[in-house]
Structure 1
Amino acid sequence: MEGLRDGTFTPAAARHAATVVVLRDRPGGGVQAFMLRRVSSMAFAPGAYVFPGGSVDPRDGEGELGWSGPAPEAWGEAFAASPTLARELVCAAVRETFEETAVLLAGPTGGTVVDDTRGDDWEADRRALLDRSSSFGGFLARRGLVLRSDLLRPWAHWITPAIEPKRYDTRFFVAAMPAGQRARDVSTESDHAAWVDPADAVAKAKAGEWFLLPPTIATLAELAGYATVADVLAAPREIVVHEPTGAIIDGEAYLVLPEDAAHHYPQG
């Protein structure tokens, strides 16, 4: 942290990324979110419970793409991004969710959604996306599928603190679990997956039982206040960029959270 103390620190560039909070209604009221625990060998946030997601692939913005729902321009307005970047973010959100959970927010038409992604043929497609032997657009075209951007809603925007060596500029989306599909732990980057009650997850983080990053715990704390997935999807959102900062306090380096998110995070 010497560079932070003397003002010579140069932050690493933040990579654009997307993450999706896949939700389902909980019997008796409230919602549940599908979460993955990152394996301990990961360079970024090992052992953390996270939502599916990842970096934008340069090919996410290439070629023609079957698209239903809000256009890239509308997503760009929501996330303060160019239409090109917005298109890449939506594609990354849908692609990464399929790669990590086998949940696919796409269908044969703009009014339908794939009802099952189990089977060897789907697994072959998922692996081709993972090893980048297939582009996302190519995958959809071969399957005759349309990306359902209308199944997503913008939720938040977080940037990894400048003091971190690996940084992401991440847009958060929310989506309902499609009927007929099944979320599965198919990611090699995770060792456990579960549907979780947002309030329970926050409580486990505060008790030191679970490791949650600040954006994750803030998102879960917000979602704990909704009675149904439909309520979440209908909630008006003004997307504000959150970027925790590093500061020297009494000679020591600390991470300072945005004021409107800090009260969600465990204190200690």
Structure 2
Amino acid sequence: MSTAVASPSPSTPDDAPPRDAASVVLIRDGAPGLQVLLLRRHQNSRVLGGLYVFPGGKVDADDAAPEWAALLDQPPAGLPARLGEPALTPAAAQALFVAAARELWEEAGVALVDAPLPRATDEPAEAAHSWRTRLAQAGARLTTAALRPWSRWITPRNPPVGTPRFDTRFFLACLPRGAQARHDAFEASDSAWMTPREALTRYWAREIELIPPQLMGLAQLARHTDVASAWAEAADRVPPCIQPEQFRDGEHRAMCYPGDERHPVRARALPGPTRLRLVEGRFEPFDGFEGWFR
């Protein structure tokens, strides 16, 4: 399997601002160590069809609705600081937390709430307002404390895999006790728990397809042996903002990240490689597979 290089969607001009999105890096402690949940998007999906991703999606207008305030475990006013983005309005920060939790519920069946939340069986994917209504009816609140901001990725112009541009906040979350993740069979066709190294190994063998935000996130998680270690790291730093810079490496497209000599941001933001190149449909570190772990 290989990631096809495509042109940006004609409905999303290259100069259009990126759309806000939220994604959840769901982790658990397993027998082989820390494991992360990956979902395979349906092959016919318009965005990232066939690729393995973390649960997530676009922010909806309803995610910023003032009615959510009564269903959160903390006031929206405190959420911009949690994100490390004090310039955000409380409503905009709320929308990112709500979207992350909503997408995790819709795509993986995992509810980050403080009371049991029955899942409907008559809808493959639920609208935001339906989910909000269900929380209210169950007397449950969304536990924003279960979402720890992890990183922010802004899709570059003319992205190598031809997706629309997104401004995505990634959140770390631990699988709640007693919960079981399962893909929705609507937006995703498969799901798997893997250690970060296993996922990167399977990617290198072309068994699964991934894109740079997931690849670099897995490289970062590979430094941790258990959930507690990753959770503590997320608590101790401001989530880095990653804006890849593209360049040519001979015949190959390549991109670099903060800390690379070609990137305008000199301070390193993430462990792992500071540049990747696209070779025969696969993003790879310049120094090969072990570059993910150096």
TM-score category by the smaller chain?
0.7 to 0.9
CA–CA separation in structure 1 for the residues paired with 2:206 and 2:28 = 26
Deviation at 1:178, TM superposition (A): 0.7
Q: 1:25 — aligned with what? A: 29
Q: Give the secondary structure class of the aligned counterpart of 1:75.
A: helix
1:85 to 75, 88, 92: 92
CA–CA separation in structure 2 for the residues paired with 1:137 and 1:242 = 31
Q: 2:59 — aligned with what? A: 56
CA contact (8 A) 2:255 2:275 kept: no
CA–CA separation in structure 1 for the residues paired with 2:61 and 2:25 = 23
Per the alignment, do residues 107 and 187 of structure 1 end up closer, same or farther by CA in structure 2, a change over 3 Å counting?
A: farther
Q: Give the secondary structure class of the aligned counterpart of 1:215.
A: helix
1:141 to 118, 136, 139: 136
Q: 2:37 — aligned with what? A: 34
1:152 aligns with 2:157: no
Q: 2:226 — aligned with what? A: 228
Per the alignment, do residues 180 and 254 of structure 1 end up closer, same or farther by CA in structure 2, a change over 3 Å counting?
A: same
Deviation at 1:150, TM superposition (A): 1.0
Deviation at 1:44, TM superposition (A): 1.6
Deviation at 1:45, TM superposition (A): 1.6
Alignment of 1:1-268 (within 5 A): 10-27=14-31, 30-62=33-65, 63=67, 64-69=69-74, 71-77=75-81, 78-80=83-85, 81-108=88-115, 114=116, 122-124=119-121, 127=123, 130-132=125-127, 134-164=129-159, 166-235=164-233, 236-247=236-247, 254-258=253-257, 259=260, 260=270, 261-262=273-274, 266-267=284-285
The one-letter code of the counterpart of 1:13 is: P
CA–CA separation in structure 2 for the residues paired with 1:61 and 1:171 = 15
CA–CA separation in structure 1 for the residues paired with 2:105 and 2:45 = 20
| Superimposed CA distance per residue, residues 1-43 of structure 1 (whole angstroms, 9 cap, x where no aligned partner) | xxxxxxxx84232111110011110225x21011101122122
CA contact (8 A) 1:99 1:187 kept: no
Q: Give the secondary structure class of the aligned counterpart of 2:39.
A: strand
Count how many residue pairs are aligned between Structure 1 and Structure 2: 246
**Structure 1-normalised TM-score?**
0.82
CA–CA separation in structure 1 for the residues paired with 2:107 and 2:151 = 20
Deviation at 1:203, TM superposition (A): 1.8
**Structure 2-normalised TM-score?**
0.75
CA–CA separation in structure 2 for the residues paired with 1:255 and 1:12 = 22
The one-letter code of the counterpart of 1:11 is: D
Deviation at 1:82, TM superposition (A): 2.5
Q: Identity of paired residues, percent?
A: 33
CA–CA separation in structure 1 for the residues paired with 2:14 and 2:78 = 34
Which residues of structure 1 form unaligned runs of 5+?
1-8, 109-113
170-179 or 219-228, larger mean C-alpha shift: 219-228
The one-letter code of the counterpart of 2:129 is: S
Per the alignment, do residues 60 and 225 of structure 1 end up closer, same or farther by CA in structure 2, a change over 3 Å counting?
A: same
CA RMSD of aligned residues (A): 2.6
The one-letter code of the counterpart of 1:266 is: E
